[in-house]
Amino acid sequence: MPAPAHEVPRLSVEDLFDSPVRAGAVISPDGTRMAYLAPWQGRLNVWVESLDSDEEARCVTADDNRSVHVFHWTDDPRWLLYEQDGDGDELWHVYRVDLTDPDAEAVDLTPFPGAMALGFDRVAARPGKASLHLNARNPVEFDLYELDIATGELTVLAQNPGQPAGWMRTPTGELYAQSLTADGDIELARWDASAEKLSPIATFDGADYPLGIQPFELTPDGTGVWMGSNRGSDRTRLVRFDLATGAEADVDSHPVFDLDTRRAVFPTLPSPLIRNPYTGALLGARYLGERQAVHALDPHFASVLRKVEQLSDGDLGAVSCDASGRRWIVGFVHDRDPGATYFYDHTTGESRLLHRPFPHLDPDTLAPMAPVTIPARDGLRLPAYLTLPVGVAPAGLPLVLLVHGGPWFRDSWGYHPVVQLLANRGYAVLQVNFRGSTGYGKAFLKAGIGELAGKMHDDLIDAVDWAVEQGYADRDRVALFGGSYGGYATLVGVTFTPDVFAAAIDSCGPSNLVTYLETLPEYARPGLVNNWYLYAGDPSDPEQAADLLARSPSSRVDEIRTPLMVVQGANDIRVVQAESDRIVDALRARGVDVEYMVKDNEGHGFVNPDNTIDMYRAADRFLARHLGGRPDTE
């Protein structure tokens, strides 16, 4: 049972936002070792440890500047790869580590200044090889390369002719490309190398896929693609697309839930498709509603799934297996027991806990996250999550409305350190999936078109009203807090409805939609047609630009009277620092006090623990001043 309020320990910001002791474990191809992330020199780095002996774990990367978050085993036990950018600039490079030589430095396999490596993918049919996209030739165009992992040799497989958004190569060497038509539809075409032209196979309505088709993964034999389709339906299901005929055949679906496509926004989240990474075999599919549902699509995996689901009452998170499918490492998503990770041997039935990322956190002191449904003023039902402080009467509480980014994303059940910090301080926390959020069907998604600073914002106000009417929240003590699109929504809140909120925190939020869209990286702009241009407007059209400006917080800065805190990464290439400077400068020119935190070594969202801790310490103090909470004073 949760502890009474007077017994609930006060969690420090470090308790919640410092690096995990271990996280992200992945089993090796031969099943004898695991690689995972753990601190070294104050940053997360990759460590390797035996699963069958007491041999001491070894740190195999040495980045003391910026935490590593993405790494890959290869089919050769000698090599491990990881990805890193520079201080948040999102210019990703792929590095190789020699596991047989502890003294050897990591080798940059994509050593092109100003270039970005994307779409790294090991090729099961080509041992020792991987494919990736690079814009080294032209910053706006990504070419397809094959990487020889051992030698570092890069071979151009296809040079971008000026329109593909993504390439695929089959095991037999055929090339396919996705591109956007002038109308924004998604076209899949076969590349004719001799004629150097694309031959269309199929076209998909781009408006149905604001972030592209997710998932979109080649079958092991190269004759088809497993993809998330909502063609002819409201929900996104799993189909097999035939590359020869263009036909779609249903593979699997859920009667209520969409496939979990959140990875389109956060690539570190698990794919909606669970596959054997060494054979490419399709094992299962993830669907997401209030909680996750996993459908096993392989008899062997069905048997494994029945066993591993007994290890935790959480949702299955990251999962990896050896090449044989015998040995597994599985992590779990849980609101109060985050990231518990287990080893499981399906041959012997052996299972054991490997680690908890935050062993100092007692699940009984953390606040449960409950799904709720909120009626919008026009009758639309808004899925949401409510987290209430442990051991406190759930009445008349200060409330923090936490707004997700995207907006083509969604809040979901699980452990969120910011939610736990706020609940630990005595705040109720409400996360509402406003119209335009993904994961709730095509109609719910498209209900956000044209509604920035309109009905999308009304949904947030309706959520506040609901929390007050239910008795959970004190109307005079409501704060708004969000990052990226959530930061924009926060600024909309204090400019369009300034009397609703007692405090607000904006992290890297656009303040002017016109300048925001005009300063996005050039390579990203062709992809805006089905998301920002469709949902908000195209700044190149004078009429639409005027509407974008009218929906921009910068056009109503004089309305701000809510205490405001602004957070920004100086290297943010998505929402450039000028977006935050604009609001802060305007307020300071009026003599209005505004807290402003800029970190020179961060980009779109903070990665390094010291910066994250600084941010949430400041947020903790800020909210305490304006909502009446008690901040961490350590």
Q: Is pLDDT of 634 > 50? A: no
pLDDT in tens, 130-163: 999 999 999 999 999 999 999 999 999 999 888 7
Burial of 82 (0-12, 13-18, 19+ CB in 10 A): buried
Q: Cα(434)–Cα(378) distance, rounded to whole angstroms?
A: 13
Mean of the per-residue pLDDT values of the chain: 95
Q: Cα(338)–Cα(358) distance, rounded to whole angstroms?
A: 7
How many percent of the chain have pLDDT more than 70? 99
Burial of 328 (0-12, 13-18, 19+ CB in 10 A): buried
User: What φ, ψ does residue 446 adopt, rounded to 5°?
Assistant: -75, -10
Q: Alpha carbon of 4 to those of 9, 377, 543: distances in Å?
A: 10, 37, 57
What is the reported pLDDT for 613? 97
Burial of 592 (0-12, 13-18, 19+ CB in 10 A): middle
* Residue 445: alpha-carbon gap to chain centroid: 18
pLDDT in tens, 443-479: 999 999 999 999 999 999 999 999 999 999 999 999 9
What is the reported pLDDT for 123? 78
Q: Cα(519)–Cα(513) distance, rounded to whole angstroms?
A: 10
**Catalytically annotated residues:** 484, 572, 604
CB within 8 Å of 197: residues ≥ 6 apart: 161, 191
Q: Cα(521)–Cα(517) distance, rounded to whole angstroms?
A: 9
User: Residue 309 — pLDDT band, cuts 50, 70, 90?
Assistant: very high
Q: Is pLDDT of 104 > 80? A: yes
pLDDT in tens, 332-391: 999 999 999 999 999 999 999 999 999 999 999 999 999 999 999 999 999 999 999 999
Q: Cα(264)–Cα(485) distance, rounded to whole angstroms?
A: 15
* Residue 258: alpha-carbon gap to chain centroid: 17
pLDDT in tens, 67-101: 999 999 999 989 999 999 999 999 999 999 999 99
CB within 8 Å of 280: residues ≥ 6 apart: 124, 125, 218, 219, 220
Q: First vs last Cα of the chain: how many Å apart? A: 28
Q: Cα(388)–Cα(426) distance, rounded to whole angstroms?
A: 8
Q: Cα(615)–Cα(618) distance, rounded to whole angstroms?
A: 5
User: What φ, ψ does residue 464 adopt, rounded to 5°?
Assistant: -65, -45
Give 187's DSSP letter. Answer: E
Nearest in space to 229 (alpha carbons), one of 241, 221, 245? 241
Mean pLDDT of 205-232: 95
pLDDT in tens, 473-505: 999 999 999 999 999 999 999 999 999 999 999
Nearest in space to 455 (alpha carbons), one of 581, 338, 551? 551
Mean pLDDT of 186-212: 91
Range in 192-196, 225-229, 522-526 with the lowest mean pLDDT: 192-196
- Is 342 in contact with 350 (CB distance < 8 Å)? no
Per-residue H/E/C for 285-338? EEEECCCEEEEECCHHHHHHHHHHHHHCCCEEEEEEECCCCCEEEEEEECCCCC
Q: Cα(199)–Cα(196) distance, rounded to whole angstroms?
A: 10
pLDDT in tens, 546-569: 999 999 999 999 999 999 999 999
What is the reported pLDDT for 1? 45
What is the reported pLDDT for 633? 55
Element (H, E) at 135: strand 129-138
